[in-house]
Amino acid sequence: MTTATGDPAASLTELTELTDRWADVERTGDADALAALVTDDLTTVGPFGFVLDRGQWLDRYRGGDLVTYAFDWTLDSIRVHGDTVIGIGHTRHDCAHRGQRARGDSRVTVVAVDADRDASGNGGDSQLGHAELPPA
């Protein structure tokens, strides 16, 4: 993210691009593409309060437990804190987990970080470091 200057417009552009890519891979169920978008220490909180680490989050698709039929994402607002951007948005989704169909809308909080950026602000793409998907 280009947040070294605290530029909210640049941060909004980068977070929008990152979360749009995230929504695309959630729709396709591509665990390898999802792995490239998240930090090694990703933590997610699901709609029923369960907490998943990176491996568990990716395994939703790798094991075939989760099938996504539709996943629409809208980013509503951001806050910039140095190299960290917090976004709040909402999803409309239609999926099945282990055959149990789940449809609905959720408010989502995402935290994006420049995980690989050095002290001089060079290198590294933004990655999702946290996602929280409570029921709406």
The per-residue pLDDT for range 3-24, each reduced to its tens digit, is 334 566 677 888 889 999 999 9
Rounded distance between C-alpha atoms, residue 8 and residue 14, angstroms: 10
pLDDT at 13: 84
Separation CA 132–CA 41 (nearest Å): 14
> For 50-73, what is each residue's pLDDT tens digit?
899 999 999 999 989 999 999 999
Residue 128 sits at φ, ψ, to 5 deg, of -80, 130
CA atoms within 13 A on the CB side of 126: 29
Q: What is the rounded CA–CA span in Å between residue 101 and residue 19?
A: 24
pTM for the whole thing? 0.80
Could you tell me the two tokens for 94?
Answer: 């239609």
Contact 114, 89 (CB under 8 A): no
